[in-house]
């Protein structure tokens, strides 16, 4: 039989709904659902034959206080349900809701995809039967307390689900918990969002400034290998532009639209490098973030990870990195779950890894895993023909930064530059040029504006000693020595070796004297 939907306008009085129900019942109407508001009764029913339809309408009109009866396409609550379904089906997050017993009442398509379940089969089942894990959503029913940004990793026969979830309690007018609702965000989309918000300026091969044939050959080789996914090892002295090459390779490769994540392995103690690279679970160590933390390998999923100063990794971390390269899986600190990752690894070093392998300081297996495609960037002293174009690039760059209008460099300045050995390479050249740009007042940089870094520490001015304790003078000298060593080496580990102290001790002093900005990034 046909299904009817009526909107009945009435006077708002006691017993009105009862009178309407009595007539519907007398004519054999099967009421499916009903909406009641002051002065309006919306009813959806079936069970009335065509012949009895007019009779039913006439009987209702005979009731006192019935003003109007008309057919409608949908009841108000049906319209609200359609609108809600359209909203839930269109949002980019998964939405799942349960009643007070934990039975699933709502599951939108995104949640269906994230949890890898069939929506029609899942609705009406207990959440624990659909998602076999320690589901924080069920704890809401017990405590009434919501949660924010919980990371969940599920491995079932259907596959692996990795998502972030935020949940809230559904409460009635008395404040009692009658259900729960949670939003789910697939971890790959979270990574994309983080990448889009923190995306650094895009670096391409056109940003690498050179004129020499030696650099031309390196750039051409880098362009060729950028098209693949093989691991690359970039070798070269500090300051030659290894990270610039790594970013340009990423931009020119098939992973250009995915994250580029960088870590200087010499800038942090071993324990921090491990947790940064591989992440950690909640409670893995004192001070561990609630809910744990993703490592850089996870954040770089489907993109590129750049490991600078790779030669500074401890033997323990070398073993863990080797395992990631072999199996494409990471295990967080304090965790048991193995997480699959798909990343291209670009490593860089200013040390002779082959010699380190010979001495037993670097694992041979890891060396060959990294050295699939070697790129060597020559130092500036071996490509002096690059000096003029690099100087011109510095002029343009620092004119913008310092808001100056310096147009040229005196020929004697270039002559002095050609005689310098440039131990700090391009980074040192930029420092010297920036220093000169701050000193010049006209349109030309002259020899008197050029100040090279003198690594000899001057003795204290005796006239300035009075009024300072020995401790203050020692700290001032210590800060100066550390500043110069960091400027020379660009990283904490080689500076620590040169100073004859431990890496951890140097990091403490860097923190003490607020010198972190001098570390190479």
Single out the residue of 287, 275, 261, 281 nearest to residue 152, CA to CA: 281
Residue 303 pLDDT: 94
For 369, other C-beta atoms within 10 Å of its C-beta total 18
* Separation CA 399–CA 24 (nearest Å): 86
Quote the pTM value.
0.62
Q: What single DSSP character describes residue 293?
A: B
Single out the residue of 154, 165, 150 nearest to residue 116, CA to CA: 154
- pLDDT tens digits for range 38-64: 999 999 999 888 778 888 888 999 998
Residue 455 pLDDT: 45
% of the chain at pLDDT higher than 90:
53
pLDDT tier at 453, thresholds 50, 70, 90: low
Cβ atoms 304, 258 nearer than 8 A: yes
Look at residue 27 and tell me whether its pLDDT is greater than 70.
yes
HEC string for 64-132: CCEEEEEECCCCHHHHHHHHHHHHHHHCCCEEEEEECCCEEEEECHHHHHHHCCCHHHHCCCEHHHHCC
Look at residue 252 and tell me whether its pLDDT is greater than 90.
yes
What is the set of domains in the chain, with CATH numbers? 4-78 (3.30.70.260), 91-187 (3.30.450.20), 199-376 (3.40.50.300), 380-449 (1.10.8.60), 462-518 (1.10.10)
3-state secondary structure of 290: coil
Residue 377 pLDDT: 97
| Mean pLDDT estimate for the chain | 87
Compute the C-alpha angle 419/421/425, nearest 5°.
125
- pLDDT tens digits for range 328-380: 999 998 888 888 999 999 999 999 999 999 999 999 999 999 999 999 999 99
* Separation CA 418–CA 385 (nearest Å): 9
Burial 187-212 (b: 16+ CB within 10 A, else e): beebbbeebeeeeeeebebeebbbeb
Residue 465 pLDDT: 56
Could you tell me which residues come within 8 angstroms of residue 223 by beta carbon, excluding any fewer than 6 positions away?
Answer: 205, 252
Residue 456 pLDDT: 47
* Separation CA 146–CA 140 (nearest Å): 6
CA 88 to each of CA 82, 118, 140, 389: distance values in angstroms, whole numbers, following the listed order: 10, 16, 21, 57
- pLDDT tens digits for range 2-21: 888 999 999 999 999 999 99
């Amino acid at each position: 039989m046909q299904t009817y939907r009526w909107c009945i306008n009435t006077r708002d009085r006691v017993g009105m709904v009862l009178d309407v129900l009595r007539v519907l019942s007398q004519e054999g109407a099967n009421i499916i659902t009903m909406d009641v508001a002051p002065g309006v009764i919306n009813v959806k029913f079936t069970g009335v034959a065509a012949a009895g339809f007019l009779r039913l309408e006439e009987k209702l009109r005979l009731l006192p206080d019935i003003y109007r009866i008309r057919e409608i396409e949908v009841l108000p609550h049906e319209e609200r349900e359609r609108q809600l379904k359209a909203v839930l089906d269109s949002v980019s997050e998964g939405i799942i809701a349960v009643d007070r017993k934990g039975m699933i009442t709502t599951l939108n398509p995104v949640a269906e995809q994230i949890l890898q379940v069939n929506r029609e089969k899942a609705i009406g089942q207990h959440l624990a039967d659909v998602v076999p894990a320690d589901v924080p959503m069920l704890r809401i029913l017990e405590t009434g307390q919501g949660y924010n940004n919980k990371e969940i990793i599920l491995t079932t026969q259907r596959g692996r689900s990795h998502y972030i979830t935020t949940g809230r309690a559904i409460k009635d007018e008395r404040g009692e918990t009658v259900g729960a609702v949670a939003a789910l965000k697939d971890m790959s989309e979270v990574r994309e969002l983080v990448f889009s918000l923190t995306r650094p300026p895009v670096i391409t091969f056109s940003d690498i400034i050179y004129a020499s044939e030696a650099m031309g050959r390196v750039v051409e080789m880098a362009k060729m290998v950028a098209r693949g996914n093989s691991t690359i090892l970039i070798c070269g002295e500090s300051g030659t532009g290894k990270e610039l090459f790594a970013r340009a390779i990423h931009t020119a490769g098939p992973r250009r639209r995915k994250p580029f994540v960088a870590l200087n392995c010499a800038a942090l103690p071993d324990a921090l490098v491990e947790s940064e690279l591989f992440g950690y679970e909640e409670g893995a160590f004192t001070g561990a973030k609630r809910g744990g933390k993703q490592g850089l390998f996870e954040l770089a999923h489907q993109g590129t990870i750049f490991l600078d100063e790779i030669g500074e990794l401890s033997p323990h971390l070398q073993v863990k990195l080797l395992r990631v390269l072999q199996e494409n899986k990471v295990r967080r600190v304090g965790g048991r779950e193995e997480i699959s990752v798909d990343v291209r690894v670009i490593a860089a070093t200013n040390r002779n890894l082959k010699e380190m392998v010979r001495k037993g300081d670097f694992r041979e297996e890891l060396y060959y895993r990294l050295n699939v495609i070697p790129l060597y960037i020559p130092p500036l002293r071996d490509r002096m023909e690059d000096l003029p174009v690099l100087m011109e690039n510095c002029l343009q760059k620092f004119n913008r930064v310092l808001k100056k209008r310096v147009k040229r460099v005196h020929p004697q300045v270039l002559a002095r530059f050609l005689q310098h050995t440039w131990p700090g390479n391009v980074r040192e050249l930029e420092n010297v040029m920036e220093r000169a740009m701050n000193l010049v007042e006209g349109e030309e940089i002259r020899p008197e504006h050029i100040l090279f870094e003198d690594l000899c520490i001057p003795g204290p001015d005796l006239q300035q000693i009075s009024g300072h304790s020995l401790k203050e003078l020692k700290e001032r000298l210590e800060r100066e020595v550390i500043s110069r060593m960091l400027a020379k080496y660009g990283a904490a580990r080689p500076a620590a070796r040169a100073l004859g102290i431990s890496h951890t001790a140097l990091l403490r002093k860097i923190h003490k004297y607020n010198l972190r900005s001098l570390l190479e990034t």
